[in-house]
């Protein structure tokens, strides 16, 4: 990314804080550390409010709620105050929101109204609405739907459970209510999800790539798997384990989405990377979807730590959960989980091998 690009991106991010925060910067108020960060346009450096460095003029300063937001706008951390090491302040309403989430989990099979939740938990309606979005990044309604969906999935794993029974026991008023939400959250309909994709036709191909042997698989909806392995036998065995009841059909892979995906992956290690031009058909929870979307927003040539991704999602203490979601990514490179690294810069934790991760980052100019 050129300096002009960085400058353009930085100037496109407006200051979101009022004069009080600027006053805290002038006073080097340590109590404000972790609440926000300020960046200096002329030096392209961001700091925490208590940084001992010389204060810039107000017109040179812009503010960011997280380190991830500052870095996404092209700023780098101050080596003097080390803002990336700042522990975020605990949200004052985190305890109240936790109480509400526990209530929604316990009553996942009920159609609860916000007023009833507020009365049962003793937490105000406005506190719930604002706190959920800030602390968890979703609305109370979205969280409740995810709990019903999780209960449905657990029911479906029980032997001899009928789909209709699982739908109603999970709190869905009808099968249509579940199916209208399932495509976005599951990637496949409930019946297909059950028993490893029973009744599903999956076409796949294997190919050579700069990262070794590669497998690409697709349903009639979109690409459902992109993986790397030591040989074709291992790749196909892993696909069979993932979709143990689906019908797998080997294809030549010289046309359609399979060919597009192979060309896309191969191009990422060259000078002219292609844009993904094929749809995806993957199963994911709401949280996994948010993590994968955050990964796709990391510019080529840059990386983010698991902790910074968690902060960007409004979940500063969920770095481990972010790592788990990243590790479950079924479509390598398309969802660029290789751009997630540890806070110390180490590259461990890539499900397809650290050497492949290193090659991808080197090709992108990020290592």
Q: What DSSP assignment string belongs to 113-178? A: -HHHHHHHHT--HHHHHHHIIIIISS-HHHHHHHHHHHHHHHHHTSTT--HHHHHHHTT-SSHHHH
Backbone φ, ψ for residue 246 (5° rounding): -85, 160
Q: Is 78 annotated as ligand-binding? A: yes
Please state whether beta strands 201-209 and 212-218 pair in parallel, antiparallel, or not at all (unpaired).
antiparallel
Residue given tokens 């979807």 in the structure block: 289
The whole-angstrom separation of Cα 231 and Cα 229 is 6
User: What does the block give as tokens for 267?
Assistant: 């191009």
The whole-angstrom separation of Cα 286 and Cα 182 is 11
CB 333, CB 292: distance < 8 Å: no
Bridge partners of residue 247, in order along the sequence: 201
- Annotation says 205 is catalytic: no
Element housing 205 (H / E): strand 201-209
The whole-angstrom separation of Cα 348 and Cα 325 is 15
CB 335, CB 295: distance < 8 Å: yes
Give me the catalytic one of 40, 47, 188, 235: 47
Q: Is 51 annotated as ligand-binding? A: yes
Give me the catalytic one of 214, 226, 337, 341: 337
Three-state SS string over 275-319 comes to: CCCCCECCCCCHHHHHHHHHHHCCCCCCCEEHHHHHHHCCCCCCH
The whole-angstrom separation of Cα 87 and Cα 256 is 48
Q: Is 205 annotated as ligand-binding? A: no
Q: What is the CA radius of gyration of the chain?
A: 23
Please state whether beta strands 45-47 and 76-77 pair in parallel, antiparallel, or not at all (unpaired).
parallel
Quick count: other Cβ atoms within 10 Å of Cβ 326?
Answer: 24
Q: Is 224 annotated as ligand-binding? A: no
CB 181, CB 149: distance < 8 Å: yes
- Annotation says 337 is catalytic: yes
Residue 193 CA: distances (Å) to CA of 154, 242, 281, 287: 12, 11, 12, 18
The annotated binding site is made up of 47, 51, 78, 81
Catalytic residues: 47, 337
> Binding site for Zn(2+): what residues are annotated?
47, 51, 78, 81
């Amino acid at each position: 990314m050129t300096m002009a690009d960085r400058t353009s991106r930085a100037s496109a991010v407006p200051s979101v804080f009022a004069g009080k925060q600027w006053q805290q910067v002038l006073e080097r108020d340590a109590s404000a550390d972790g609440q926000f960060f300020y960046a200096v346009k002329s030096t392209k450096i961001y700091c925490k409010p208590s940084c001992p460095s010389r204060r810039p003029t107000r017109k040179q300063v812009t503010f960011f709620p997280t380190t991830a937001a500052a870095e996404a706008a092209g700023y780098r951390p101050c080596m003097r105050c080390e803002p990336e090491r700042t522990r975020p302040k605990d949200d004052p309403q985190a305890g109240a929101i936790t109480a509400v989430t526990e209530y929604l989990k316990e009553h996942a099979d009920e159609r609860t109204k916000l007023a009833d939740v507020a009365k049962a938990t003793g937490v105000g309606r406005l506190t719930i609405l604002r706190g959920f979005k800030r602390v968890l990044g979703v609305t109370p309604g979205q969280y409740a739907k995810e709990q019903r969906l999780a209960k449905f999935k657990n029911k479906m794993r029980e032997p001899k459970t009928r789909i209709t029974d699982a739908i109603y026991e999970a709190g869905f008023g009808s099968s249509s209510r579940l199916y209208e939400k399932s495509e976005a959250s599951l990637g496949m309909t409930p019946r297909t999800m059950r028993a490893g994709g029973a009744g599903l036709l999956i076409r796949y191909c294997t190919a050579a790539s700069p990262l070794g042997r590669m497998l690409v698989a697709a349903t009639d909806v979109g690409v459902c798997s992109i993986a790397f392995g030591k040989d074709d036998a291992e790749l196909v065995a892993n696909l069979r384990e993932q979709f143990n009841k689906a019908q797998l059909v080997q294809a030549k892979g010289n046309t359609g989405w399979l060919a597009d995906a192979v060309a896309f992956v191969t191009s990422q290690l060259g000078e002219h990377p292609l844009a993904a031009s094929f749809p995806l058909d993957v199963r994911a929870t709401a949280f996994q979807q948010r993590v994968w979307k955050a990964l796709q927003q990391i510019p080529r040539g840059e990386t983010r730590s698991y902790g910074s991704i968690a902060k960007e999602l409004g979940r500063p203490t969920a770095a481990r959960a972010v790592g788990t979601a990243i590790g479950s990514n079924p479509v390598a490179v398309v969802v660029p989980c290789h751009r997630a690294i540890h806070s110390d810069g180490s590259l461990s934790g890539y499900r397809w091998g650290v050497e492949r991760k290193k090659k991808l980052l080197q090709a992108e100019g990020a290592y």
